[in-house]
Amino acid sequence: IADCNRDPNVHGILVQLPLPRHIDERRVIGAIGPEKDVDGFTPVNLGRMLLEEPCYIPCTPLGIIELLKRSEVPTKGAHAVVVGRSNIVGKPLANLLIRKSINATVTICHTGTKDLGSYVREADILVACAGVPGLVSVDMIKPGACVIDVGVNRVPDPTKKKGYRLCGDVDFEGASKVAGWITPVPGGVGPMTITMLLSNTIDAASRISGVAL
């Protein structure tokens, strides 16, 4: 990482998580130069994000915000429920949703939340990022709500060549009949995450090379 930080031909550094247990994840992430932290995971960039200073924002939360904007989902005054509190998605997303440009009221649900359904049923915008297949059932979805499913779970399926299929945290078939907007798994949030990563990398290359976009 130190070599990549010094190399002017390297514009973005990404660490594929999770790391093996014997490797200190925080130390590895913290070694990345903030100007090349295109994943937005270093303490410096996370701190700048909280202060709403210029920085690289984690790609999945940034992609979700872009989805909301481009799909023209009403966010001002909306009740957004985020199911999951990871450092990669849940926490940074909650921060972005309360910014004045979005102006949503945010509830974060997690493993300690009692009666998850009572919170989810009130959501105008629901983001499921817990990593639990089928966690959100159709009876939890508010009619017309925007449902963004971040979960990518492998479920055994002997009919598939690989022996499994991918599914999200939401019952897509049922929820799609009730929701006003919904993202599939795969093919929903995933491509947006990659797009935001490329966008951050292009921006980093421009800043490091001094070439304006």
Per the structure, the complete domain to which residue 6 belongs is given by 2-56
- The answer as to whether 145 is a domain residue is yes
Taking the chain, what is the end-to-end CA distance rounded to the nearest angstrom? 26
> With 90 as the cut, is the pLDDT of residue 213 above it?
no
Is residue 12 within 8 A of residue 2, CB to CB? The reply is no
CA distance 135 to 116: 9
Write out the two tokens for 176: 């799609």
pLDDT of residue 23: 97
Average per-residue pLDDT for the chain: 97
CA distance 15 to 29: 7
pLDDT of residue 20: 96
The confidence band for 43, taking pLDDT boundaries of 50, 70 and 90, is: very high
Domain count within the chain: 2
> With 90 as the cut, is the pLDDT of residue 212 above it?
no
The mean per-residue pLDDT over the stretch 137-164 comes to 96
Residues 87 and 185 placed together within one structural domain of the fold: yes
- Give the domain CATH number at 90: 3.40.50.720
Residues 183 and 91 placed together within one structural domain of the fold: yes
Angle (CA) 202-181-165 rounded to 5° is: 75
